[in-house]
Structure 1
Amino acid sequence: MIRTIPGVLRAAADRYGDKAAYVEGDVVTSFAELLERVRRTAAGYRDRGLGPGGRVVVWAPNSTDWVVAALAVTYAGGTLVPANSRYTGHEVAELVDRTGAVLAVVSDGFLGRTQIADLRAASDLPSVREVIDLGALAAVEVEPGDIDAVAEAVSPDDVADILFTSGTTGRPKGAMTAHRQTVGVADTWGELGGVTADDQYLVISPFFHTFGYKVGIITGLCTGATLYPVTTFDVDATLRLIESARITVIPGSPTIYQSLLAAPRRPDFDLSSLRLAVTGASVVPVVLIERTRAAAPEGLGVDQVVTAFGMTEAVVVTMARDGDPADLVANTCGRAIPGMEVRVDAPEGEQGELLVRGDYVMLGYLDDPEATAAAIDADGWLHTGDVATIDAQGNITITDRIKDMYISGGFNVYPAEVEQALLRMDGVDDVAVVGVPDERMGEVGKAYVVGAVTPDDVVAFAKGRLANFKVPRHVELVDGLPRNLSGKVLKTELRRG
């Protein structure tokens, strides 16, 4: 088995050649063309100072250019650092500075913003040789020269990517993953889903996320599936694309399926090509699984609907299987995938912290041995911070979160990070953020604020500092926060309202 990203890319080009790898509007990129663009871009990166082990931040929405920009990093022997496309310049500058990135590839003008100017305004970017506009990526390409030798020298144990997540301290942590892990988990996911070169794979999940990058881009290379990247999710546009492209595979958060099912024009489209839907990230209502499976016009008519559990630190841990009943798919996260094992830190049948171990657990957190040791114990078990139960067949059910993290629209939100940002606002004396139920997003943030400010001003300040999914949707002004004798905010009381 090939165990590096450059190796998988070359093998895909050799095997699938002129077959479409990516379709974006009217532009079709074959596997052979993808490899050639990656080779030339990797050589261009090298000319700009990227060497083996160097890091490159890619800050952009889904596109074929994102794929080229990202794959070229590892082809040049470097390490990819994806940044959330909704992040602010301040948030991305922190990632750039902490990783010592040599290059930053940025989609300037996305959503009408000025990303390059914002990034430069937030930091002097001392490590960066060049900020590259993704829209002009072709200008980076040069003759490949001996870049293939650089790609061939990449080891399965080299760090392929660093994806940042947040902890209870609110400071993002960079989860480091080796090539063998990124490739292995993508290959396993594709095999369990039965993904093949005949599939038309719609990628709504963002490429900066493990779901879009590893089980999207890399799974596509492993299987030969044709990928259709979605830049921004629009319900009617997505329905049109499913019909016109005969989409067969559509992973995504429950929010995606809820939006498709609720679309007024859904019955107008032929969605009969859909065969595989994979969801997770939050509790999935049984009725959602049933409706996704149901034939039109009541549902989406998807033959195979499964749920999965994963995290940035382990990508995919468990997955339901084809043929599992709807209530099992909706109420559990399935069983451990090959190469992974799970257990609950509690007596049999009781709730406890979910621990996971195996091939796809991260190498550790970037420059943070203390956090790594706290997350992964001496026996190799990753402590997820989730409370779970496990049944006799090994299916896990997430019942609570030890951490205060909540999931909004499929994205993890850590209240401490939001709180730290809001405490920088003039007039805010104290703040606590909790997740509250939301019909569409699953959960959204609610901020309890002590101080001389207005709710609108708090939201506006947050929008300038945080990605949209982190911005509290509700703000309540209070005289004080409930605390225990040690001074800890009693968030349970706040959640009760």
Structure 2
Amino acid sequence: MGSMPDWGTLPRMLRDQAERHPGDVVVADPTGPRLTPAGLRAYAAGVARGLMALGVEPGDRVALWGVNSPYWVGHAFGIWDAGAVLVPLSPRFKGIEAAQLLAKTGAKVLVTGAGPAPAPLPGPLPELRHVVTPDGPGLAALGARVPARAAEERALAVRPDDLCEIMSTSGTTGTPKGVMIDHSQVLRGYWDWSEIVTLDEHDRYPVIAPFSHGFGLNAGLVACVLRRATMIPVPVFTPDALMSLISEERATVLAGPPTLFHRLLDELDRDPGRSWDVSSLRVAICGAAAVPAAMITRLVERVGLERMINAYGLMEGTVVSMTRAGDPIDVIANTTGRPVPGIEVKIVDDDGKEVAPGERGEILQRGYGVMRGYWGEPERTAEVVDGDGWLHTGDVGVLDEAGNLAIVDRKKDLYIVNGFNVSPAEVESLLLREGSLAQAAVVGVPDPSSGESGLAYVVPRPGAAADPEALLAWARANMSGYKVPRRIVVLDALPTNANGKVDKVALRQHQA
């Protein structure tokens, strides 16, 4: 595997790319601007000067809220140039959700970008000093009074162990946690990821996952600048636009859940007479517990795909394992490959003892990719990272004799909708804000279009009536779309187990 240049930080990486390859295109918006490394460096410097003019100091948190766009890319690198910590907010967030993360991280500045108008932020946010909007004067104009040399010194003063991002992640409690990742972790993790993917300057890579998501930000935005691949930011992905996205943009790399690739094949089968040209695709990346072998075979035969890569990672551990070139189809279909360089994986039983190959247990991970911790929550950090540095992932897996890791279950009470982790506790907490409910319990159930979806069981407050359609309408207005339950069922009481806790096994059986 090729060694990464001694960049150390994202600002130094960008400067090196701008000096060595100033004219390569790293951002190509189909309807807007294109950015080269040199152009991106200049853009980021202007943003950094504006943030410094607003009083942003090294280590301050700056939130970025908008859809994928060149604006988002330039502002992300500007935040890093200013020595600040990026706090991405999902463009799917409603006001309640955004305010929770802003309050948790103590963000000093909120930058809003292209996309739907951000929802009003409820409640006091005393640490939020400034909100920068696209239709305002802009950070570059605000920074005109800050000397360029001061901004350059600020960027070069960033250290490898400085935090570069705090990523929101769902948990088993009702409040999302903030995962702290530093510059060195992102650079090494996604240099190695890109090496295994074989991403390079000849690739065109539509980034469908939101930049606010760990994959979209690090395996999309950062990886493309690292390897000088052309990223095509996709503001809002619609399945109907998939074929034109690939054929018109001559995409060579595509990443997404299995449903994305099923859709591609379905479109080719549905209208064989239409001249969809998807022959440019050479690599597909799919992070899933299982990828149907028949789908891989069809992609190779029908599309001419060179490689399908399966991978496993989590926000707290960055990249954990990936399949490699030359792996047989059954390994790609049924495992997420072997640990990436610098990462150790072991499987343990309920007593913490390592189990033999082929036996199930919790996946533990150790190495450079393990997060620095949860922002402001050392106790919760200690619950998942033990004294020997092992991250307890909460996922259940099996290692085979060759070291390939198969994901077989989730110990954590989470489900996944179109690639997004959803915490039932968070959805329950949001539903209870509506006002008519005494209790809410959410479970994940299989869904043919999204992989899984939420099913909510609710009990109304005494004297109140709960209308499922009205509750769903409220949910759509107040939470991200992927968190909105597919269905809401009203019950007189929730089933409980012997310990008095809500019996979610019984609820799953109820829906079946």
Q: TM-score band (shorter)?
A: over 0.9
Query: Structure 2: how far apart are the matches of 1:28 and 1:66?
Result: 13
In the alignment, is residue 83 of structure 1 matched against residue 86 of structure 2? Answer: no
Tell me the CA shift for residue 324 of structure 1.
1.6
Query: Structure 2: how far apart are the matches of 1:125 and 1:429?
Result: 28
Tell me the CA shift for residue 484 of structure 1.
1.0
Tell me the CA shift for residue 423 of structure 1.
2.1
| DSSP-derived class of the 1:294 partner | helix
Tell me the CA shift for residue 74 of structure 1.
0.9
Alignment deviations for residues 316-358 of structure 1 (CA, whole Å, 9 cap, x no partner): 1000112222222121111100111111103213211111111
Alignment deviations for residues 469-488 of structure 1 (CA, whole Å, 9 cap, x no partner): 00100112222222111112
Query: Structure 2: how far apart are the matches of 1:336 and 1:196?
Result: 22
Alignment partner of 2:13 out of 8, 26, 35: 8
Query: Structure 1: how far apart are the matches of 2:341 and 2:469?
Result: 49
Alignment partner of 2:340 out of 337, 342, 354: 337
Query: Structure 2: how far apart are the matches of 1:265 and 1:77?
Result: 51
Alignment deviations for residues 408-429 of structure 1 (CA, whole Å, 9 cap, x no partner): 0000001011111112333322
| DSSP-derived class of the 2:318 partner | coil
Alignment deviations for residues 356-403 of structure 1 (CA, whole Å, 9 cap, x no partner): 111111000001011000010111110111111110111111111111
Q: What aligned pairs does 1:130-169 form with structure 2 within 5 A after superposition?
A: 130-134=130-134, 138=138, 140-141=140-141, 142-143=143-144, 144-169=148-173
Identity %: 41
Aligned partner letter, 2:9: T
Tell me the CA shift for residue 137 of structure 1.
7.4
In the alignment, is residue 468 of structure 1 matched against residue 481 of structure 2? Answer: yes
Tell me the CA shift for residue 107 of structure 1.
2.7
For the 8 Å contact 2:46–2:139, the answer to whether it is kept is no
Alignment partner of 1:185 out of 185, 189, 192: 189
Alignment partner of 2:247 out of 243, 249, 262: 243
Equivalent pairs counted in the alignment come to: 487
Consecutive unaligned residues of structure 1, counting only runs of 5 or more, are none
Query: Structure 1: how far apart are the matches of 2:278 and 2:162?
Result: 42
Query: Structure 2: how far apart are the matches of 1:217 and 1:250?
Result: 13
| DSSP-derived class of the 1:17 partner | coil
Corresponding residue of 2:376: 367
| DSSP-derived class of the 2:253 partner | coil
For the 8 Å contact 1:254–1:410, the answer to whether it is kept is no
Distance 1:124 1:478, change over 3 A: closer
Root-mean-square deviation (CA, aligned residues, Å) is 1.7
| DSSP-derived class of the 1:125 partner | coil
Q: What aligned pairs does 1:75-474 form with structure 2 within 5 A after superposition?
A: 75-107=81-113, 110-111=115-116, 114-115=117-118, 118-119=120-121, 122-134=122-134, 138=138, 140-141=140-141, 142-143=143-144, 144-263=148-267, 264=270, 268-295=275-302, 300-346=303-349, 347-348=355-356, 349-451=358-460, 452-474=465-487
Alignment deviations for residues 211-230 of structure 1 (CA, whole Å, 9 cap, x no partner): 11111111112111111110
| DSSP-derived class of the 1:162 partner | strand
For the 8 Å contact 2:454–2:483, the answer to whether it is kept is yes
Distance 1:236 1:466, change over 3 A: closer
Corresponding residue of 2:493: 480
Query: Structure 1: how far apart are the matches of 2:488 and 2:366?
Result: 39
Tell me the CA shift for residue 146 of structure 1.
2.2
Tell me the CA shift for residue 236 of structure 1.
4.3
Aligned partner letter, 1:6: P
Query: Structure 1: how far apart are the matches of 2:495 and 2:239?
Result: 41
- The more displaced of 255-264 and 405-414 is 255-264
Query: Structure 1: how far apart are the matches of 2:137 and 2:161?
Result: 29
For the 8 Å contact 2:346–2:365, the answer to whether it is kept is yes
- The more displaced of 129-138 and 411-420 is 129-138
- The more displaced of 97-106 and 250-259 is 250-259
Query: Structure 1: how far apart are the matches of 2:93 and 2:325?
Result: 36
Distance 1:135 1:194, change over 3 A: farther
Aligned partner letter, 2:277: D
Query: Structure 2: how far apart are the matches of 1:470 and 1:17?
Result: 42
| DSSP-derived class of the 1:318 partner | strand
Corresponding residue of 1:31: 37
Normalization by structure 2: what TM-score?
A: 0.92
Corresponding residue of 2:3: none
Tell me the CA shift for residue 138 of structure 1.
4.7
Alignment deviations for residues 242-266 of structure 1 (CA, whole Å, 9 cap, x no partner): 2233211111222322332233458
For the 8 Å contact 1:434–1:446, the answer to whether it is kept is yes
Query: Structure 1: how far apart are the matches of 2:339 and 2:434?
Result: 44
Distance 1:213 1:480, change over 3 A: same
Query: Structure 1: how far apart are the matches of 2:385 and 2:135?
Result: 40
Query: Structure 2: how far apart are the matches of 1:83 and 1:4?
Result: 22
- The more displaced of 71-80 and 396-405 is 396-405
Query: Structure 2: how far apart are the matches of 1:137 and 1:162?
Result: 27
Query: Structure 1: how far apart are the matches of 2:138 and 2:264?
Result: 35
For the 8 Å contact 1:170–1:414, the answer to whether it is kept is yes
For the 8 Å contact 1:248–1:275, the answer to whether it is kept is yes
Query: Structure 2: how far apart are the matches of 1:259 and 1:88?
Result: 29
Consecutive unaligned residues of structure 2, counting only runs of 5 or more, are 1-5, 350-354
Alignment deviations for residues 26-73 of structure 1 (CA, whole Å, 9 cap, x no partner): 422111111101011111111011111111000111001001111111
Normalization by structure 1: what TM-score?
A: 0.94
Aligned partner letter, 1:131: V
Aligned partner letter, 2:360: Q
